[in-house]
């Protein structure tokens, strides 16, 4: 069974810093990997989706990379802002199943 791990569970950074969130998975046979953010009391908001044939995706200050062979993905956030504070989750599609990590809770301190 696919296992998705996100370390650290929580991260605090001062405003303006660049940061990297990590996601690792045990089965490299994935169709795609998706990064989400979740604000308290809300559902998940899709940030970036990387297909298995792609290496990275970019949207604004966000850049996600995928290395299937090593079972890793990173989400890079440039010039962090207090509004980036949220929980970030990654999810992989393997076969007919979708597996989520437990998330990294990010706090950006003004």
Return residues touching other proteins (CB under 8 A): 31-32, 34, 36, 41-46, 49, 51, 89, 91, 93, 96-103
Smallest distance, Å, CB 73 to other proteins? 15
Task: Report the nearest approach of other proteins to the CB of residue 15 (Å).
Answer: 27
Residue whose CB is less far from other proteins, 18 or 59: 59
Q: Which two tokens stand for residue 46?
A: 């899709």
C-beta closer to other proteins: residue 65 or 94: 94
Contact 71, 26 (CB under 8 A): yes
Edge-first strand order for the sheet with 62-67 is 4-5, 19-25, 72-77, 62-67, 56-59
β-bridge partners, 45: 37
């Amino acid at each position: 069974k696919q296992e998705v791990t996100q370390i650290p569970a929580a991260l605090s950074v001062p405003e303006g810093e660049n940061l990297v969130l990590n996601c690792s998975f045990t089965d490299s046979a994935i169709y795609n990997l998706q990064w989400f953010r979740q604000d308290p009391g809300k559902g998940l908001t899709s940030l970036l989706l990387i297909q298995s044939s792609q290496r990275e995706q970019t949207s604004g200050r966000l850049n996600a990379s995928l290395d299937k062979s090593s079972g890793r993905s990173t989400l890079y956030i440039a010039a962090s802002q207090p509004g980036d504070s949220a929980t970030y989750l990654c999810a992989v599609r393997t076969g007919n199943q979708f597996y989520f990590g437990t998330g990294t809770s990010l706090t950006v301190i003004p």
